[in-house]
Amino acid sequence: MANRPSYQGSGLGNLVAEIETRLTGSTVWPGLGEGLDLPDGDTYVLVLFDGLGVAQLDHPEAVSMAGANIGTLHAPFPTTTSVSLATVATALPPSRHGQVAHLTWFEELGVVVNTLKWVTLAGDPVAYDYGSLLPSPNLWERLRAGGVEPITVQPGDFTGSPLSRALYRGARFEGAWDIGDLIEATVALSAEPRRLVFTYVPHVDVAGHVFGLGSEEFTEAMKVVVAVWEGLAAGLPPGAVLVGTADHGLAEFAESEKHLVREPRYDELRFAGDPRGVQLWGPPGLMQSLATDTAGQLIDPTDLIGPDPTPTALSRLGERLLLPPDDRVILPKGFDKRLRCYHGGLSPAEVEIPLLLG
C-alpha cells in the first residue's frame, strides 16, 4: 500500500528509540536506519512542533528550519497528535502502545473518547485512570531506571490535564506560559548532563486547523516556531544535542471536499478514528455502501498500526478502516466539521515529518 508508515528505521518511534539507546545503552524498539545519524551528546533536547510536516517546511518563513532538515521520517498511523505523542512516550508503534486514534473506542467504557480532551463525542467528561493508558514501563520510567532524568516542557495550561497525566507518567513536567518562557526553560534544563528534555510547540497545528495554510495567522505561527528553533539552537550549552520533529503534517480541504455522513441508515454504524481515516463497526454491507458513497477504500486497520498488535490495541481498533481519497475528508456525526486543515490519513502531506538537527 502506498504511503504505509515506516516503523523499522525511519519512523517517529525509531527516532525516540535512537535517543534512548544513546542515553542508556538500550531500548525496546529499533533505532534509526542507515543515513539518519544523530550526534552523540550528554543530554538530548527533542522538540516536537505539532503539525510541522515536511510539506510545511516549504513555507517562506521556514527557510532556516528547512536547512536543518537532514531527512524525512514517518508519523505513525493514524497520523494524529495523541497517537504520535503516545509513540514519543513509549518509543513504540500504536500496535504496541495501544493508542490507535484521536477519537478512540474504549470497549471497557462503552464510548468513543476524544483522547485530546478526554470527553465523549457529545462533550461529556470521561472518568478514567489516565496514568494507566500506556504500557509500563514507558519511556520516561525506563530513562529514570537508566539514570537519565526525563523532563517535558509544555504550555502551562496543559499542567495536570488528562492527556498530560496519560502521557507523562514518570517525567518531570515544566509549564511554560509564553514562547520566551519555553525557550528559557528548555535551555536552562538542558544544562545538566544525562537528561532528555522533550519540548512541545503547538502553534502551527492550531493555526492550520483554524485559519488554513495560506492565512496570516499561519505565517505568524511559522514565525513563532522558527524563533523557538533558532533560539534553542543558539542557546543550548555544549554537550546538549538539539533534535526537532513533528507528530504529523497538515492537509487543507475546501468545504466542497468535506463529506458529511448524515443519512439515517448509517446510524447503525459506530464511528471513531479521524476524518482522514474513519474506523467502523457494523454490518459489512453498510460499511461497503458508505465506502461507495464517499469514494473511499475499506481496509484492515491492523495493516497500518505496526506489527504484533496487543489485545488492548485490537480492542480499540475498528473492524474496518475507511480511507477517503487524498482530496476528501469524511465527517460522521460528532467529528469536527469546522476545520480548514485535517490529518490522520496516509497522504505524504500527513505522513512525512522532518528530522531536524540544530
Q: Provide the residue range defining the domain that includes 240.
A: 12-100+129-251+346-357
Q: Residue 16 pLDDT more than 70?
A: yes
Q: Give the model confidence (pLDDT) of 145-177 as tens digits.
A: 999 999 999 999 999 999 999 999 999 999 999
In this structure, are 324 and 210 located in the same domain? no
In this structure, are 186 and 204 located in the same domain? yes
332: its cell numbers = 460522521
Q: Check which CATH number belongs to the domain holding 331 and give it.
A: 3.30.1360
Which residues, at least 6 apart from 275, have a Cβ–Cβ distance to it below 8 Å?
324, 329, 330, 331, 335, 336, 342, 344
Q: Give the model confidence (pLDDT) of 212-233 as tens digits.
A: 999 999 999 999 999 999 999 9
Distance between CA atoms of residues 261 and 270, nearest Å: 12
In this structure, are 277 and 202 located in the same domain? no
**CA-based nearest residue to 119, from 166, 79, 162:** 162
DSSP string of 243-272?
A: EEE-S---EE--GGGEEE---GGGGGSEEE
Are the beta carbons of 346 and 77 closer than 8 angstroms? yes
What pLDDT, on a 0 to 100 scale, did the predictor assign at position 4? 84
Which residues, at least 6 apart from 217, have a Cβ–Cβ distance to it below 8 Å?
207, 210, 211
Is the residue at 106 inside a domain?
A: no
In this structure, are 212 and 302 located in the same domain? no
Q: Label residue 12 by pLDDT band (50, 70, 90).
A: very high
Q: At what angle do helices 179-189 and 216-235 cross, to 10 degrees?
A: 20
Mean pLDDT estimate for the chain: 97
Is the residue at 7 inside a domain?
A: no
Neighbour count for residue 264 (Cβ, 10 Å) = 6
Are the beta carbons of 148 and 196 closer than 8 angstroms? yes
Is the residue at 115 inside a domain?
A: no
Q: Residue 1 pLDDT more than 50?
A: no
Distance between CA atoms of residues 84 and 103, nearest Å: 14
User: At CA 281, angle to CA 275 and CA 285, rounded to 5?
Assistant: 100
In this structure, are 50 and 94 located in the same domain? yes
In this structure, are 194 and 265 located in the same domain? no
In this structure, are 188 and 82 located in the same domain? yes
Prediction pTM value: 0.97
341: its cell numbers = 486543515
In this structure, are 279 and 180 located in the same domain? no
In this structure, are 263 and 200 located in the same domain? no
DSSP summary character for residue 343: -
Which residues, at least 6 apart from 84, have a Cβ–Cβ distance to it below 8 Å?
12, 48, 75, 76, 247, 248
Q: Residue 3 pLDDT more than 80?
A: no
Q: Check which CATH number belongs to the domain holding 134 and give it.
A: 3.40.720.10
Is the residue at 182 inside a domain?
A: yes
Which residues, at least 6 apart from 239, have a Cβ–Cβ distance to it below 8 Å?
41, 42, 43, 193
**CA-based nearest residue to 55, from 209, 248, 189:** 248
In this structure, are 267 and 201 located in the same domain? no
Is the residue at 122 inside a domain?
A: no
Give whole-number Cα distances, 354 to 32, 49, 123, in Å: 13, 10, 34
Is the residue at 108 inside a domain?
A: no
The domain tally of the chain equals 2
In this structure, are 181 and 212 located in the same domain? yes
Q: Give the model confidence (pLDDT) of 291-330 as tens digits.
A: 999 999 999 999 899 999 999 999 999 999 999 999 999 9
The length of the chain in residues reads 358
Q: How far apart are the first and last CA of the chain?
A: 34
In this structure, are 149 and 262 located in the same domain? no
Q: Give the model confidence (pLDDT) of 259-301 as tens digits.
A: 999 999 999 999 999 999 999 999 999 999 999 999 999 999 9
Is the residue at 3 inside a domain?
A: no
Is the residue at 180 inside a domain?
A: yes
